A and B are shown apart, each in its own frame.
Chain A
Amino acid sequence: MGYELIDHTGDLGLKIRSVDLKSLFCEAATALFDVISDLDLIEVREEREISVVGMDNEELLVAWLNELLYLHEVERLLFRDFKIIEIGEGKLKGTAGGEALREEYHIIKTAIKAVTYHQLEVRKENDGWSGRIIFDI
């Protein structure tokens, strides 16, 4: 379980694997902030509730990650702790725990500008779930 990076000329992608759909979404979010910053330096000081909608699991994954990215960009939050409370019927509810960026302490490794729909995939495998997602950087 976990994730690997897909190296691409213009962009950066992730392949994620997990035991179930909920943890796949958590893995994807963890990977997102692992790419953006150093997870070890992020403390959980506040929590945000997140609700998004989407036509299918793929769109929900993009919406979930884009919502986290939005909070990162506008409120300068870094997250490391994720929970999916419910997922299904075109809705996702979850929480993200983390803290506001401290300029002198945290590092920003990669600026991710958007989570895209390109080659997007969320799939049930024999032994769990897999996902593929590409970021615009």
Chain B
Amino acid sequence: MWEDLSVRIEKVDDYRWRIPREGKMRTDGMVYLDERMLNQIRQEQSLLQVKNVAHLPGIVGNSLGMPDIHWGYGFPIGGVAAFDLKKGIISPGGVGYDINCGVRLLRSGVERSEIRTRIKEIVDALFRNIPAGVGSRRKDLKLDEAQYRKVLLKGAEWAVKQGYGLGEDLEHIEEKGCIPGADPDLISQKAYERGRAQLGTLGSGNHFVEVGYVAEIYDQALASALGLSLDQVTVIVHTGSRGFGHQVCDDYIRVMLRAAEKYGIELPDKQLCCAPIQSPEGENYLAAMACAANFAFTNRQLITHWIRETFEQVMEIGPGKLQLQLVYDVCHNIAKIETHEVEGRKQRVCVHRKGATRSFAPNHPDIPAAYKKTGQPVLIPGDMGRCSYVLVGSQRAMRETFGSTCHGAGRVMSRHQAKKAARGRAVARELEDRGIYVRGASVATLVEEISEAYKDVSDVVEVVHAAGISKKVAKLKPMGVIKG
């Protein structure tokens, strides 16, 4: 099956393409792409992966692909699938290795002109204060067992209680920074060990902290409601649950390989291994995943605290003037139990979002009071040289995609190809010439993360905006970046 890349696909409109149900598929696939993107990804296996997901028991609605879709383990990255709580399954491959990898956006009371001459100082200080890179570890944050368990149980709330951040931050995090139902007893010793020194660190790969500014506003009313204005300084944090989440994923893939056999679930690909949601294996994974998700929320909260401290030190101004406030924090690798309207009736489903962002409409009960009228803020980071976007969720997303949208740019070059493309070039220097000061934990990271290695995030965002599954609010441009 893997070698057969031909997937039958029908055009619905300029941004929607259906993979019609056939063979043992239980539903249609639906991908959100423009024609050019479709032609690019036809050569990949990701459309086949959308099709494979449609085979899984208890799938509700379509097997979905967002415009940043690319090949992932079992489930494509940029994939969304919802499952009936009684008949459906839960799969670690539908969440990904970096459980609750996500993005948060801070706005500030400072304008771009005020930091332009100090950006190097700020970035260098961020680089010192936030450990980044391979196996990065934090020496000053020692957790005893009881505290560690609290991190897993309480998430960002634990961090705020310890003085890392403000109470109001919690309101502006998906799920208020804590996925309920976490059970630390289900976490392996290995996951504990891998996570222990990594809490409060950025990690490697595409994870980053980016200082930027609001470069363009598409909807003034929405931008004002989100507290965003032209030239305002912003900070984006992109990281997840580090080695802790990876270990949880690996532990439970092993469990699920056996569970799939035990429950007689027929899989078109081994990596889709899963268990019924209502089985001991399924319930245990959800409770372990919640621990990893809460680890990630805590991680981003701690990093936020150190960002605030760094700005205060370098700028020599107090928090009152700095006003580094949390706009929002979204998960983009997660499975959530949510209520959605399916064929006219409300239904509890388990929504897998793997490389996809929640995009809830205005007035949804799960979004904070400040955003009831705007819809949930959706944060879409681009590569380090281009730009990032702020959008809001929409009713159409509720109707079509279980309130989901894209999550980022998606790679187009392998790391090896990127290295080749960047050979002989001074990547940091090129970026600096364009007004972006970058510090990477290694030269290799910068080279592997060059802009050309990614799709242009603007194209991705254009599709979700035009398809109506989220709405553009503002564009952010980078000034300084620390990369893991």
Q: Do A and B come from one complex?
A: yes
What residues make up the interface of A, taking CB atoms closer than 8 Å to B? 5, 7-12, 55, 59, 63, 66, 70, 73-74, 76, 108-111, 113-114, 116-120, 136-137
Determine if B442 is an interface residue (Cβ-Cβ < 8 Å): yes
Q: Is the CB of B257 within 8 A of A55?
A: yes
Cβ-neighbour of A70 out of B194, B204, B257, B417 (below 8 A): B194
Within 8 A of A (CB), among B246-298: 246-247, 249-250, 253-254, 257-258, 270-271, 273
Cβ-neighbour of A7 out of B2, B74, B416 (below 8 A): B416
Cβ-neighbour of B416 out of A5, A108, A114 (below 8 A): A5
Q: Is the CB of B250 within 8 A of A66?
A: yes
- Complex CA gap A120/B97 in Å reads 17
Question: Nearest Cβ in chain B — how far from A37, in angstroms?
Answer: 10
Question: Nearest Cβ in chain A — how far from B96, in angstroms?
Answer: 9
- Complex CA gap A135/B474 in Å reads 36
- Complex CA gap A107/B444 in Å reads 11
- Complex CA gap A96/B412 in Å reads 36
Residue of B nearest to A75 (CB): B193
Q: Is the CB of A74 within 8 A of B193?
A: yes
Q: Is the CB of B72 within 8 A of A10?
A: yes
Residue of A nearest to B98 (CB): A113
- Complex CA gap A10/B412 in Å reads 8
Instruction: Tally inter-chain residue pairs, CB-CB below 8 A.
Output: 80
Q: Is the CB of A136 within 8 A of B70?
A: no
Residues of A within 8 A of B416 (CB): 5, 7, 12
Q: Knowing that A10-B72, A111-B133 touch, tell me 6 more A-B residue pairs with CB under 8 angstroms.
A: A5-B416, A12-B415, A63-B254, A66-B250, A108-B135, A136-B246
Given that A113-B97, A117-B253 are known contacts, is A10 also in contact with B71, CB under 8 Å in the complex? yes
Determine if B190 is an interface residue (Cβ-Cβ < 8 Å): yes
Q: Is the CB of B135 within 8 A of A114?
A: no
Question: Nearest Cβ in chain B — how far from A1, in angstroms?
Answer: 23
A-B CB proximity, top 5 nearest: A111-B134, A111-B204, A118-B73, A7-B414, A7-B416
Q: Is the CB of A9 within 8 A of B97?
A: no
Residues of B within 8 A of A119 (CB): 2
Determine if B205 is an interface residue (Cβ-Cβ < 8 Å): yes
Within 8 A of A (CB), among B19-42: none
Q: Is the CB of A9 within 8 A of B71?
A: yes
- Complex CA gap A47/B86 in Å reads 49
Q: Is the CB of B444 within 8 A of A109?
A: yes
Residues of B within 8 A of A55 (CB): 257-258
Question: Nearest Cβ in chain B — how far from A101, in angstroms?
Answer: 8
Residue of B nearest to A134 (CB): B73
Residues of A within 8 A of B2 (CB): 119
Q: Is the CB of B271 within 8 A of A116?
A: yes
Residue of A nearest to B136 (CB): A111
Most A-side CB within 10 Å, residue of B73, B194, B247: B73
Cβ-neighbour of A73 out of B194, B253, B258 (below 8 A): B194
Residues of B within 8 A of A11 (CB): 414
23 CB < 8 A contacts A-B: A8-B414, A9-B70, A9-B413, A10-B414, A12-B416, A66-B250, A70-B190, A70-B193, A74-B194, A111-B135, A111-B204, A113-B97, A114-B97, A114-B246, A114-B249, A116-B73, A117-B73, A117-B270, A117-B273, A118-B271, A119-B2, A136-B73, A136-B246
Residues of A within 8 A of B205 (CB): 111, 113, 137
Given that A114-B250, A116-B271 are known contacts, is A9 also in contact with B134, CB under 8 Å in the complex? no
Most B-side CB within 10 Å, residue of A10, A12, A136: A10
Question: Nearest Cβ in chain B — how far from A108, in angstroms?
Answer: 5
Residue of B nearest to A74 (CB): B193
- Complex CA gap A5/B98 in Å reads 24
- Complex CA gap A39/B264 in Å reads 44
Residues of B within 8 A of A73 (CB): 135, 194, 243
- Complex CA gap A73/B249 in Å reads 16
Question: Nearest Cβ in chain B — how far from A107, in angstroms?
Answer: 9
Residue of B nearest to A119 (CB): B2
Determine if B185 is an interface residue (Cβ-Cβ < 8 Å): no
Q: Is the CB of B271 within 8 A of A10?
A: no
- Complex CA gap A7/B442 in Å reads 21
Determine if B77 is an interface residue (Cβ-Cβ < 8 Å): yes
Within 8 A of A (CB), among B410-434: 411-417
Question: Nearest Cβ in chain B — how far from A117, in angstroms?
Answer: 5
Determine if B44 is an interface residue (Cβ-Cβ < 8 Å): yes
Q: Is the CB of A113 within 8 A of B271?
A: no
Cβ-neighbour of A117 out of B271, B417, B444 (below 8 A): B271
Given that A117-B271, A118-B73 are known contacts, is A59 also in contact with B194, CB under 8 Å in the complex? no
Cβ-neighbour of B77 out of A10, A63, A109 (below 8 A): A10
Residues of B within 8 A of A70 (CB): 190, 193-194, 247
Q: Is the CB of B271 within 8 A of A108?
A: no
- Complex CA gap A90/B331 in Å reads 37
Taken residue by residue from 230 to 256, chain B's Cβ proximity to chain A (1 for < 8 Å, 0 otherwise) reads as 000000000000010011011001100
- Complex CA gap A7/B97 in Å reads 20
Within 8 A of A (CB), among B116-144: 133-135
Residues of A within 8 A of B413 (CB): 9
- Complex CA gap A73/B190 in Å reads 11
Residues of B within 8 A of A12 (CB): 414-416
Residues of A within 8 A of B415 (CB): 12, 110, 137
Q: Is the CB of B246 within 8 A of A113?
A: yes
Residue of A nearest to B445 (CB): A111
Residues of B within 8 A of A66 (CB): 250
- Complex CA gap A111/B97 in Å reads 14
Q: Is the CB of A9 within 8 A of B135?
A: no
- Complex CA gap A108/B136 in Å reads 12
- Complex CA gap A116/B250 in Å reads 8
